[in-house]
Amino acid sequence: MIVLALLLSLYNPAGAELGLWFMRSPEPIVAPVGDDVVFECSLNVPAESVRWRHNGAYLAHDHPPPPRLSSTSRLLVKFNDEKQEGDYQCVAWFGASALASTPARLTLAELQPFLYQPHKQYFVTEGNNVAINCPPPVSKPPAIIQYLHNNHIMSESTTILPTTGSLLLSNVSQRDAGVYTCSATNYITGQIIDSSLKVTVTVEPPGEPASPRFLYIPQAKYIVQTGQNVSVECSGVGTPPPNVTWRRVNGALPKERADLTVGALRLTDIQPSDQGQYVCELSNGVPPKVAHLVTIEVQVAPVVTKGPQNAVFEENNDTELNCEAIGYPAPNITWLLNGESVDNDSHITPLGGRLIIKRIQKKHAGIYQCFATNAVGTTYGSAMIQVSPIQVTQVGIVLSLNLAKLVIVMFSIAVMVPPTRPNITRLSDKSVMVRWCVPPNPGLPIQFFKVQYQDLDASGKSSRWMTSNEDIQPHIRSYEVDGLSTDHHYRFRIAAVYSNNDNKLGRNSAKFHLQRGLPSNKNPLYPPALTHTEAVTPTSIRIHWEYLNSVLVPVDGFYVYYRATTSAGDYIKATVEGQNARTYVITHLQPDTAYDIKVQSFTVGAASEFSSVVVQKTQREPNATIAPNPEVIGVSSLGATDKSSHGQLYLVLGAVFTGLTLLLSLAGAICICYLEPGLTIQQLEPVTMNGFTHNGKVNGRLSNGYLPRSMNITNNPLAESEQDKV
């Protein structure tokens, strides 16, 4: 524990290595239902946006962006439901990278009844010190215990031991005799409840000498946090009244911080070195003496003594990040990448203070945080990790012959087909729906999409392209962008990130004016009516709806919203094009899971209200397949099978022969190529690494630990193109 105390003075603030940290994190709050609760966080650098999470899930529409970059964010929680209890955490976004604060718990204020306590009788002689303990009920925050003597509230001068809450009667006399009871008060809710405890104290004149004794066994273990004070109770009676002495097992009492008071040993400014066992001894000259053993456990808040370091790694290489933390109890370490848990990433394996990354990809670039948590609190260390992409080359081989030229081009990369130009629909004064598609193609598969948008009416940094925080699943073709400014003009575009971890931008949308209020309410859009849903497979649900087409307001299609019923997160959106569509199959769902589903119609200018929400559950995964009964094959069927097998064999042999012939031809051509002087090899330009070039500069500034005030960190570099200037 002494070594632990020394290490505590050597650590840096969380985020010091990164150059970015929270100057204020949200703080825990205890409140009753019906209160308005405000959480607040602030950073040393203004963030592009800040979002709030509750129990790990982002709150919907909690982050309308301020008119300018801000370093402080506040979340108002109208505490109307016990389900709102839990951890709240703010996540600050800088482009596609994010830093998460330490979480703060919102706890419901409550006061539970006392446990039953039997009636007690104490017979003591005058001059003794008598302690009466009223075990407190469960209360959040801790209840205030009040004692009554013969049904009268005791005066404020009454001595209450701070740690145990016991009532201490010093040098008792006949006036202290009587019945003692107690009550508990929750100062937040205002509740007051009475305990069943009744202690009758009978004070007698001194009589025959009697050895010391405890009226009840005092508390045996105290759990204290560093810096706190503790009063360790030890009070007994005897004739004559006993003396109390304290000693420490295997050590001395801390100098200048130990004070022997009536009924207790008071230790101030507890340190880790104070942990151990203490002995309280009562003696009055009448044997035997009595002793009480007390254990003091000192809890120490976690501290990250060595966090992950800023680094640049080559793509597809294996790497490891390390985090060391101290504290008591030993801290549990968890990892976040850009504010999200790494547990669901197949490339990443967290092993306590070690984070192993296999074949690191460009999507793994960003801010890593290791959170150290124990019973006292939570802290973190952080680092910026950059990923240098593989230098992909495009090789051209030109073969010259005497009579003709044969040109063979070999590509080491496949085609990346970009998304189409997006269409935009107004949803509200602050939000739009962006829709796009990807033409059928044999190119590289898409891992996820990103939506980018540009405020054409903004100036300065606010006019640059902004990127959505979420990775949009590849089967999704629509996305809601909220937090926009009313009466501003915007352009949108879609970026696709492919299986080779490279990306390509689609065309910019037409200029879109986000008008205030509905463009026209003369012919309002009516919501469709969901009529039927059915589970098709363990991962898909088919829905049916009715909608009366209008000649005055022809719709462009329908939006389908769905999410797991147990989830409090945002709905996933799907787009169904065409006014005559009346059915849709929702795919990529979880087996045996209930989903909330709703639909709305839309035009280019607006969207209707939502239909009623319908709940449908997907099918369960099928059981293990049962092997079919063996079939009896007759002579005729055997012959047919044999002929079919021979036909397949000839087909395979023909394919193999053809492939070998092509390979031999290609090898010959390559040999001729090396003999001819016309061979040329072309290479692509070097690829930048996630907005950072190899020359040691970050956004035009040397990367010497200084973090620019304005940051643009992205997981996948979505480079500016010529179309941005249009």
Q: Using alpha carbons only, give the angle 306, 312, 316 rounded to the nearest 5 degrees.
A: 115
Q: 288: which residues sit within 8 A by CB, 6+ positions away?
A: 211
**Selection from 65-69, 442-446, 589-593, 642-646 with the highest mean pLDDT:** 589-593
CA distance 221 to 278: 10
Question: What per-residue confidence (pLDDT) applies to 45?
Answer: 86
CA distances from residue 311 to 314, 382, 499 in whole angstroms, order as listed = 10, 12, 24
More confident of the two residues 437 and 70: 437
Contact 326, 7 (CB under 8 A): yes
Higher pLDDT, 172 or 443: 172
Task: Give 522's pLDDT tier (boundaries 50, 70, 90).
Answer: low
Mean pLDDT within 530-545: 93
Least-confidence region, from 92-101, 150-159, 252-261, 707-716 = 707-716
Is 63's pLDDT higher than 80?
no
- Asked if 77 contacts 59 with a C-beta cutoff of 8 angstroms, the reply is no
- Residue 435: burial class (beta carbons within 10 Å; 0-12, 13-18, 19+): buried
3-class secondary structure, 435: strand
Instruction: Determine the pLDDT at residue 69.
Output: 61
Long-range contacts of range 67-74, CB-CB < 8 Å, 24 or more positions apart?
Answer: 68/462, 69/461, 69/710, 70/46, 71/23, 71/42, 71/43, 71/44, 71/45, 71/46, 71/47, 72/24, 72/40, 72/41, 72/42, 72/43, 73/40, 73/41, 73/42, 73/47, 74/38, 74/39, 74/40
The token pair that represents 99 in the structure block? 């830093």
Q: How far apart are CA 275 and CA 296, in angstroms?
A: 5
Structure tokens at 331: 């801290």
SS3 63: coil
Question: What pLDDT does residue 224 have?
Answer: 96
pLDDT of residue 106 exceeding 50:
yes
Q: For 247-256, 327-336, 424-433, 693-702, which range has the lowest pLDDT when averaged over its residues?
A: 693-702
Rounded mean pLDDT of 360-385? Answer: 94
pLDDT score, position 556: 86
Decide: 368 and 355 in contact? Cβ < 8 Å.
yes
Distance CA 381, CA 358 (A): 22
Averaged pLDDT of the chain: 81
Q: 664 pLDDT exceeds 80? A: no
All structural domains of the chain, each given as residue ranges with its CATH number in brackets, are 22-108 (2.60.40.10), 113-206 (2.60.40.10), 208-300 (2.60.40.10), 307-388 (2.60.40.10), 423-514 (2.60.40.10), 529-617 (2.60.40.10)
The pLDDT confidence band at residue 15, using thresholds 50, 70 and 90, is low
List the single range of 54-63, 72-81, 413-422, 650-659 with lowest mean pLDDT.
650-659
703 falls in which pLDDT band (50, 70, 90)?
Answer: very low
